[in-house]
């Protein structure tokens, strides 16, 4: 059967979950992996699976380490070109989160060939290519399959000096937490799927999810920046908890300091939340202490799965202004101080 290019098709209608909300919930993932067999780890492997970091890092020599990562998901938006752009931006982000510079990508493409027009599939791929061009890297190959749901993403390779790798497990007590992008992508995607997202909000969502986390390259050169990750499918709390666990520290968040995309809090109040928010909380809520004034809606905002979310930086207090200025110079105008790290029980405390 051939599908007409003129036929009105909603990409999100093919996916049971969109963007990083497709991720297997952290609790289920831990259960799946708990009986995985260990294997000898070469001394050159600087970062593996130990702390659920953003990418693997393999030391090549005294001057270079190779960063390797992959990310792919089902549509979070209906526009095929935007879907390709978001997926590519999200995949490349993991290299920046390790402090690296991307060098090339491979495309991962799974499409229901008999349900989507060839032209639409081409637009998805071109969207990804446009982002790779902005990042200055080629798509050097890839793999395609005929699948039930549309799937697109990238394998991305990057380079970093071994001394400048920024893991998610090296935060220090006294560090300040800075978030590079506002939250709310999962909530906006839920509203979009239900026809409740206006054009202005959609534009804000696309601008947020297609902004490359390039500041990570420069942040890697700052010794005052101790740890870094990016916020994606497990929500702000989930990825901060990985940082706290890896560093053996206590994290404190200030709810009033956290930036959100415009209109997101009202959308959440109106019930536009994803199932992934509840799954995230079920997986790690026992390690999070919420102040009595934190509302159920605010809890949903903190567990909201982000697609192509912002960098979460743990840095020395004296470097805060330098880090914020760096974000601003790269066009990240909503970067904000949201909390701090301290000695104490491993976990997160959220205050007003």
Is 4 part of a structural domain of the chain?
no
Give the contacts of 208 (CB within 8 A, at least 6 positions apart).
Answer: 181, 182, 185, 261, 308
Helix (H, G, I), strand (E, B) or coil at 79: coil
Question: Two tokens at 204?
Answer: 């804000």
Give me the pLDDT at residue 29, please: 73
69 and 112 share one domain: yes
| CATH number of the domain within which 147 lies | 3.30.1330.10
One domain, residues 131 and 195:
no
Structure pTM?
0.93
Annotated catalytic residue, options 20, 22, 132, 315:
20
Report how far apart, in Å, the C-alpha atoms of 17 and of each of 149, 165, 299 are: 10, 33, 20
Q: Does a structural domain hold residue 270?
A: yes
List the structure tokens of 14.
Answer: 């093919």
pLDDT at residue 35, rounded to an integer: 74
pLDDT in the model for residue 184: 98
Q: If residue 348 lies in a helix (H) or strand (E), which one and from where to where?
A: strand 347-351
Is residue 6 situated within a structural domain? no
Could you state, in chain order, the average pLDDT of each consecutive group of 10 residues for the chain (352 residues)?
Answer: 56 72 69 72 93 96 98 95 98 98 98 96 98 98 96 98 98 98 97 95 98 98 98 97 98 98 97 94 97 97 97 98 98 98 97 98
The residue among 118, 135, 163 that closes a domain is 163
Is residue 211 one of the residues assigned to a domain? Answer: yes
Same domain? 80 vs 178:
no
* End position of a domain, from candidates 163, 187, 211: 163
Question: DSSP secondary structure string, 238-299?
Answer: HHHHHHHHHHT-EEEEEGGG--B-TTHHHHHHTT---HHHHHHHHHHGGGEEE-TT--HHHH
Q: Residue 189: inside a domain, yes or no? A: yes
Give catalytic status of residue 20 as yes or no: yes
Question: Which of 142, 163, 184 is the last residue in one of the domains?
Answer: 163
Domain range spanning residue 86? Answer: 11-163
Regarding whether 117 and 73 lie in a shared domain, the answer is: yes
């Amino acid at each position: 059967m051939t599908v007409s290019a003129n036929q009105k098709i909603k990409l999100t209608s093919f996916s049971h979950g969109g963007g990083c909300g497709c991720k297997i919930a952290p609790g289920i993932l831990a259960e799946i992996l708990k009986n995985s067999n260990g294997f000898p780890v070469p001394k050159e492997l600087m970062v593996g699976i130990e702390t659920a970091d953003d990418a693997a890092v393999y030391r090549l020599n005294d001057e270079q380490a190779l960063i390797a990562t992959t990310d792919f998901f089902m549509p979070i938006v209906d526009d095929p070109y935007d879907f390709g752009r978001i997926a590519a931006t999200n995949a490349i982000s993991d290299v920046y989160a390790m402090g690296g510079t991307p060098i090339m990508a491979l495309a991962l493409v799974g499409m229901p060939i008999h349900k989507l027009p060839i032209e639409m599939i081409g637009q998805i791929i071109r969207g990804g290519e446009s982002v790779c061009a902005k990042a200055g890297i080629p798509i050097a190959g890839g793999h395609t399959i005929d699948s039930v749901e549309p799937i697109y993403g990238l394998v991305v390779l990057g380079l970093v000096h071994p001394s400048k790798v920024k893991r998610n497990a090296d935060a220090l007590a006294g560090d300040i937490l800075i978030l590079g992008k506002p939250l709310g992508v999962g909530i906006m995607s839920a509203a979009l799927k239900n026809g409740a997202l206006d054009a202005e909000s959609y534009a804000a969502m696309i601008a947020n999810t297609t902004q490359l986390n390039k500041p990570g390259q420069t942040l890697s050169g700052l010794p005052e920046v101790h740890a870094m990750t990016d916020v994606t499918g497990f929500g702000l709390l989930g990825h901060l908890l990985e940082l706290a666990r890896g560093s053996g520290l206590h994290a404190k968040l200030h709810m009033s300091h956290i930036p959100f995309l415009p209109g997101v809090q009202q959308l959440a109040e109106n019930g536009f939340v994803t199932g992934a928010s509840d799954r995230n909380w079920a997986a790690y809520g026992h390690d999070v202490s919420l102040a009595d004034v934190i509302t159920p809606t605010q809890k949903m905002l903190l567990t909201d799965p982000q697609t192509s979310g912002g960098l979460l930086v743990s840095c020395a207090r004296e470097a805060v202004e330098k880090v914020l200025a760096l974000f601003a110079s790269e066009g990240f105008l909503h970067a904000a101080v949201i909390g701090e790290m301290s000695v104490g029980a491993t976990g997160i405390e959220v205050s007003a």
